[in-house]
Amino acid sequence: MSDDTGVERTLVLLKPDAVARGLVGRIVARFEDALLKVVAAKMVWMDADLTKRHYFDLEERFGPEVYNLMAEFMQTGPVLALVLEGVEAVACTRKLVGPTYPDQAAPGTIRGDFAHMSRAYANEHHLAVANLVHASGNPDEAEHEIDVWFGKEDIHEYPTAAQQYLRQQQYLQ
């Protein structure tokens, strides 16, 4: 979802490894520091149906082995699902998260700072890559994924303190 001001929404999942390692607050803070606003959040233990709806095309794109590894991994513990809103939220979020494979992620990105598993290690040991975060790849994907995870009643409109301050400053001029 995007409007004419460039403000859009994106889905982020803090995966079971992020939750189990106690990184939820630190990761969410990174998004908020970049002026992305949390407009929906819920913790869910994914079941087979939700996993299939979220990763609906993964098996087709990468084969059943990749899908099965990811599905098994995503069901090992709860995930925190978030809808973030902000200017160019999809691209901003992907930049903050870093590349899919943690060993390719630069320091300063979430995966570069906190993740630890390389693609080679995951492949050698038949594991899903533990990379902490799922982030929608583009605005269309974001819209689809948000609809999988949240109803319209779950998404909240509110001004942040920064937005209120900016409005107040514009009023005073």
Distance CA 80, CA 95 (A): 20
Distance CA 136, CA 94 (A): 8
Residue of 116, 125, 126, 134 with catalytic role:
134
Q: Is 134 labeled as catalytic in the residue annotation?
A: yes
Residue indicated by tokens 């095309």: 57
**Residues annotated catalytic, as ranges:** 134
